[in-house]
Amino acid sequence: MTNTVKNDRAAWFCGPSATCSNLPPQRARIWRLVLLGAPGVGKGTQAELLVERLGVCQLATGDVFRAAAKSTNASLTPAMAAAVGHMRKGELVPDTTVWEIVRERSSCLRCRGGFVLDGFPRTIMQANALQELMKSEGLELDGVLNYELPTAEIVARISGRRVCEKCKAVFHVTGRPPKVAGVCDQCGGKLIQREDDRPESVKVRLETYDRATSPLIDFYRNLGKLIPISAEGTPDEVFARTTAAL
Q: What is the pLDDT of residues 12-23, one digit of tens each?
A: 888 877 788 777
194 is catalytic: yes
Active-site option among 43, 105, 157, 241: 43
CA atoms of 54 and 64, how far apart (whole Å): 22
In this prediction, residue 22 carries a pLDDT of: 75
At residue 41, does pLDDT exceed 70? yes
At residue 65, does pLDDT exceed 90? no
In this prediction, residue 1 carries a pLDDT of: 42
Active-site option among 27, 53, 198, 205: 205
221 is catalytic: no
At residue 7, does pLDDT exceed 90? no
205 is catalytic: yes
**Around Cβ 135, how many Cβ atoms within 10 Å?**
10
pLDDT per residue as tens digits for the range 165-183: 999 999 999 889 999 999 9
Q: 37 in helix, strand or coil?
A: strand
Mean pLDDT of the chain: 89
Do 217 and 169 touch, CB atoms closer than 8 A?
Answer: no
pLDDT > 90 fraction of the chain, expressed in percent and rounded:
61
CA atoms of 189 and 233, how far apart (whole Å): 30
70 is catalytic: no
At residue 4, does pLDDT exceed 70? no
43 is catalytic: yes
Active-site option among 103, 122, 203, 221: 122
Banded model confidence at residue 246, pLDDT cuts 50, 70, 90: very high
- Mean pLDDT, to the nearest integer, of 177-200? 95
pLDDT > 70 fraction of the chain, expressed in percent and rounded:
96
Which stretches of 55-198 are DSSP H helices? 61-70, 78-88, 95-103, 106-109, 124-136, 151-159
The CA-atom distances, in angstroms, between 231 and each of 58, 96, 197, 220 are 19, 31, 19, 19
pTM of the predicted model, to two decimals? 0.85
In this prediction, residue 73 carries a pLDDT of: 66
Domain ranges of the chain: 10-146
Among the CATH numbers 3.40.50.300, 3.40.50.2000, 3.40.50.720, 1.10.238.10, which is that of 10-146? 3.40.50.300
Phi and psi at residue 47, in whole multiples of 5°? Answer: -60, -40
CA atoms of 193 and 206, how far apart (whole Å): 18
Active-site option among 161, 162, 225, 241: 161
Do 40 and 157 touch, CB atoms closer than 8 A?
Answer: yes
Active-site option among 168, 176, 190, 194: 194
